[in-house]
A and B are shown apart, each in its own frame.
Chain A
Amino acid sequence: MATKSALGGSVRRREDPALIQGLGSYVDDITPHGTAYVAFVRSPYAHAKITSIDTSAAEAADGVVAVYTHDDVAHLGDLIAQVVVVKGRPLLANGEVNHAGEAVAMVVAETTYQARDAADLVEVDYDPLPAVIDLKDAAADKALVHSDLETNVVVTWEAGPWGDEEGIAATKQTIADAKARDDTVTVSIEAVNQRLIPVPIEPRSVVAEWNQGYQRFRVHSSSQVAHALMGAIKTTFGLDANQVHVTAPEVGGGFGVKLNIYNDEILTCFAAQKLGRPVKWTETRREAPVSSIQGRGWVATATLVGTKDGEILGYELDAIADMGAYEQNFTAAIPFLGLFVGSGQYSFPTHWKATCVFTNTMTTDAYRGAGRPEAAYYLERVIDAYCREIGADPFEVRKKAFIPQFFEGATSPIGFAIDTGDYATNLDKLAEVADYAGLKAERDKAREEGRYIGVGVSAYCEVCGFAPTALSELGFSWSTYGLPAGFYGTGLVRVNPDTSVTVVTGTGPSGQGHQTTWAQIVSDRLGLPIEKIRVITGDTEESPMGIGTFGSRSLAVDGGATFTAAERVAEKARSIAAHLLEASADDIELDADGGHVTGSPDSTVSWDDIAAAAYLPHRLGESQIEGGLESHVIFDPPNATWPFGAHLAMVEVDPETGDVKILKYFTVDDCGNVVNPMIVAGQVHGGVVQGIGQAMFEEAIYDPDGNLLTGSLLDYPIPTASDVPFFTLNSTVTPTFCNSLGAKGIGEAGTIGSAQTIVNAVVDALEPLGVKHIDMPLRPRRVWAAIQEARG
């Protein structure tokens, strides 16, 4: 090709000019004429019977248009989750509230201020019931979250390998035998992987309009999954897919929060239909922790058995995972995603179990990493504990236990097929670029000076790029939203008559730069410049189907579909050029100018001419080529993708206060081939800092009655610029064979690798004091308490 490939270049983002000038359009920026506004009345109790609701004062308040309670919306049914379906969320509380903040009534008014004023006037009487908050209490059914269920346990996921009862029994026996040997050590830690509040900086927002004439909904929502929302709306209201047009315009961060169908979205549609006017709801930050999903929330015991000289013989995880009060979208499937990578990059026998339980708290669901950070956390923490116990080097022990490099698939001990992996090369590179030996020497020197510096490492194995559609057999699909849509990718590429290019893809980005990356892919195939290519995402009318953006799947799956669609359009353009030039299509090359016959620079046809022929098909004469210049591809990859990597942190602890400072942070990530290194680096930075946030600051704390004590940013600190260092990023490249791009996915890797890296570093720093374990978040009070405890 005459044009340099656009793949692999750090192209400046196409989305940025609007966003840096305040010209991006987020949902709350969209206010159709005559919009009315919603405010919710929320339960102050974690578990209570509702004995009465009096809406009369609210109804009489200034500007109030309507007040709704469960009776008004009972006919619409509950929200239903995917994969495991035990208890869906009622749109408005049905006589009983099961978590603090559950929506009890909905007020619609002329202004946001009036809606809030009136919501305060709704009088609800409650009869409190016992609440279960503690995970072990919940697992033991000390009280029931739902009185109509016999147990709080939703599902138990167990593997070793997955789906093989006999295999699991054999693995358990192998591990028991190893423990019984005289030449082995067994190391165990019980650790909390605390609940988190995701905090995308844009609160969720939805605007709904109902056109009574056309019988259609027009909905804007800050969603990662516009098509799923379309499905939920059509199913709830008994409509066809083509009667509901959902768009997700600019979305201000998602991280899994916006990968859910929420009651507020359905209720806003309900009110818009009922009232015949546009209705908007925008979440406030203080209600976000109870109106949007939370993440993590595990307590688990991780046990490792190995020889005294560093050979790991087996690993067990026994976890309880917090579902909150209702299943939302993937709720009970999140720990299952952890199970996928339960044995990490390693070959040792693994027995892995997670018991999912309801509690009287806000629902948990996918938060960046979703199950995989938890799985990596326990595995990589207990490996470090084992290394410390036997005095072995954490790099060496890990390397010895890795699955040897493989490029055509391998099966993990947990029973899943991994695409490609080259773990030792990756970890070696980390040791090299971070100067691991030098850092250890620096640490040891500091120790002699009485300073507490630590070096921590973690490897990680990620699974993402969620596909194939065969996963729908396990329930991973939008089937409960009335759409038989498994996890495929979609890409539509159209060269318009004026040679501009429109790309439509099924993703729902919230900052990942798809405008740019997709344009690079299409430009690479067609030769047309990136500036001529526009990418449409998150639009149910433009894109026939789309699965959305989550699980680091967009590039590997929808990007793969778009790559193929662009290739097909290129193929057709070559055929048209060949027809016009009276040459063979095999001899045509495309670039920014048009089609050329290889080796004959004068034999050229412009893109204008190619497009004109495509849209004036009579010019195609007898060629049998159909008019038009577009292709729409649905791509079902053979497998998910399995990125991996390793992180290293150096920290210093002030032993007098417990204050932790991160001095250095290195990553070596392997996400296969990279389309835009600049964007990939940004994903790593952000992912790492969310992991650091969990390691250092963040924790959704409930009191024993189920009140959330950390409901505002005042009490729930997320990292600021002052809390983190610059990062040193490196990579290895092990492409996947699962898509034409060879790309794996990088959205969550940073988060999956980082929390335990920090904790391992802090434990390392405090090793001279005898500290062996500290639970996250490593707030100064907790670090200091661990030091006191170790000192006795």
Chain B
Amino acid sequence: MYPRSFDYVAPTSLEEAYGALGDDSKVMAGGMSLIPLMKMRLFSPGVVVDIGRIPGLDSIDDSGDHLEIGALVRHATTASSDAVRSHAAALAAAAALTGDVQVRNRGTTCGALAHADVAADQPAGALACGAVMVVGSSSGTREIAAGDFFVDSLTSALEPNEILTSIRIPKAGPGEGSAYDKLGRRGGHSDYAVAGAAAWVKKSNGSIEAARVAVTGVGTKPQIADGVAQALVGTDGSDEAIKAAAQNAVEGMTVLEDLYGSEEYKTHLAKVYVARAVKAALANAG
């Protein structure tokens, strides 16, 4: 309940923020993941760099061929943004199913991605929608593909001196659609994902031309299920085709048992939710 002492910095520019980062520091945006860990004393950084006062990071911009979601865009904004809902429905749906109202009012999409929880919703959405992470530090900016961003449980590709300043998501073209679905720990959609899946598809002439599918909750990190996408491409997207492709849901992944599911159950659920997400994505693709 009572965090350990730390130094607090609230920079008003990214440059200032980069200057404050070091090995014993932690970036805080909304604090929805960080503060509970600090209260439980499971994590106690020496310096908290609060980026919440840096102007210009709280908008969703339409940049021609992609949307750019800034580091301070709250889950609630991502979830209700018309632009995100039409171009990245999977991410919007995942944001809408993140936490609860109060968490969605404070927590940020970029913060949830940087936290890299194995059972979080938005990483799956970002993966399926082909997001690119824009990462800054005092030595400049680099871009990381979502597929390379999630490294392990609570571990992203961010270095201690880096900040995830925004994510870029390609805008949906004709015949493209995405969706996210999960089983929550409480059943239904409530709480973290026991297993969840996001899917993005591109339809053309009655068949699936391209697909990207991501799974969360079942393993060591949210990750892309390549085998599903490969099996989907070229099919007509029928229930049978989806079901067959979904069999590859955890191919190449390490599925881990936890309080909410055995390895067998999580493997099964991943297939179920991959199929549900693909079906919904196809419906969204019109």
Contacts and interface: CB of A to CB of B under 8 A. Distances in A.
Establish whether A and B are touching in the complex (CB under 8 Å). yes
B188 interface: yes
Nearest to B40: A286
Given A120-B41, A723-B190, A781 B261 contact: yes
B265 A717 contact: no
B186 A784 contact: no
Interface stretch (A109-117, A233-241, A529-537): A109-117
A146 interface: no
Given A116-B1, A717-B185, A780-B183, A657 B272 contact: yes
B194 interface: yes
Given A657-B183, A657-B272, A722-B188, A781 B262 contact: yes
Interface string B73-104: 00000000000000000000000000000000
Contact of B186 (A113, A656, A717): A717
A781 B183 CA distance: 11
Given A116-B1, A696-B187, A785-B262, A657 B40 contact: no
Contact of B1 (A117, A284, A657, A659): A284
Interface residues of B, number: 22
A113 B44 CA distance: 14
A720 B190 contact: yes
A308 interface: no
Contacts of B272: 656-657
B66 interface: no
A117 B269 CA distance: 43
A709 interface: yes
Contacts of A112: 1-2
- Give the dominant DSSP class at B's interface: loop
Given A780-B183, A781-B260, A659 B4 contact: no
Interface string B249-273: 0000000000111100100110010
The interface size bin for chain A is 20 to 34
A780 B2 contact: no
Nearest to A715: B259
Interface string B185-211: 111101100100000000000000000
Interface string A767-780: 00000000000011
A656 B270 CA distance: 11
Contacts of A701: 259
Nearest to A658: B265
A697 interface: yes
A657 B181 CA distance: 13
B1 A660 contact: no
Contacts of B261: 780-781
Q: Which of B5, B183, B262 has the most CB of A within 10 A?
A: B183
A710 interface: yes
B188 A697 contact: no
A661 interface: yes
Contacts of A710: 259
Contacts of A113: 2
A133 B134 CA distance: 50
B262 A722 contact: no
A307 B42 CA distance: 59
B1 to A, nearest CB: 4
A780 B195 CA distance: 11
Interface string A637-670: 0000000000000000000111111000000000
A499 B191 CA distance: 54
A112 B186 CA distance: 33
B187 A780 contact: yes
Q: Which of A658, A709, A712 has the most CB of B within 10 A?
A: A658
Nearest to A785: B265
Contact of A784 (B41, B259, B268): B268
A584 to B, nearest CB: 66
Q: Which of B2, B190, B268 has the most CB of A within 10 A?
A: B2
Contact of B187 (A116, A656, A779, A785): A779
Nearest to B194: A780
A781 B184 CA distance: 11
Contacts of B186: 697, 717, 720, 722-723
B259 A709 contact: yes
A748 to B, nearest CB: 25
B265 A779 contact: no
Nearest to A696: B187
Interface string A679-715: 0000000000000000011000100000001101001
Contact of A781 (B190, B191, B194): B194
A286 B40 CA distance: 8
A785 B183 CA distance: 16
Nearest to A659: B187
Q: Which of A657, A697, A701, A709 has the most CB of B within 10 A?
A: A657
B235 to A, nearest CB: 21
Contacts of B2: 112-113, 116-117
A715 to B, nearest CB: 6
Nearest to A778: B187
A710 B5 CA distance: 27
Interface in A103-144: 112-113, 116-117, 120
Contact of A117 (B4, B260, B268): B4
A112 B2 CA distance: 8
A717 B191 contact: yes
Contacts of B188: 659, 661, 722-723
B269 A657 contact: yes
A715 B261 CA distance: 13
A781 B265 contact: yes
B162 to A, nearest CB: 28
Nearest to B265: A781
Contact of A723 (B41, B187, B265): B187
B183 to A, nearest CB: 5
Nearest to A711: B40
Interface in B4-32: 4-5
Nearest to A723: B186
A622 to B, nearest CB: 67
Nearest to A722: B190
Interface in A740-789: 779-781, 784-785
Q: Which of A285, A659, A781, A784 has the most CB of B within 10 A?
A: A781
A697 to B, nearest CB: 6
A659 B259 contact: no
Contacts of A696: 187
Contacts of A117: 2, 4-5
A335 B186 CA distance: 30
Nearest to B266: A781
Given A120-B41, A701-B259, A779-B260, A660 B187 contact: yes
Contacts of A785: 262, 265
Interface in B226-282: 259-262, 265, 268-269, 272
23 contacts: A117-B4, A117-B5, A120-B41, A286-B1, A656-B272, A657-B269, A660-B187, A661-B187, A696-B187, A701-B259, A710-B259, A717-B185, A722-B186, A722-B190, A723-B186, A723-B187, A723-B190, A780-B183, A780-B260, A781-B262, A784-B265, A784-B268, A785-B262
Given A780-B183, A785-B265, 16 more contacts: A112-B2, A113-B2, A120-B41, A657-B183, A657-B272, A696-B187, A697-B187, A715-B259, A717-B185, A720-B190, A722-B186, A722-B188, A723-B190, A780-B194, A780-B261, A781-B194
Interface of A: 112-113, 116-117, 120, 284-286, 656-661, 696-697, 701, 709-710, 712, 715, 717, 720, 722-723, 779-781, 784-785
| 4 nearest A-B residue pairs (beta carbon) | A284-B1, A116-B2, A113-B2, A781-B261
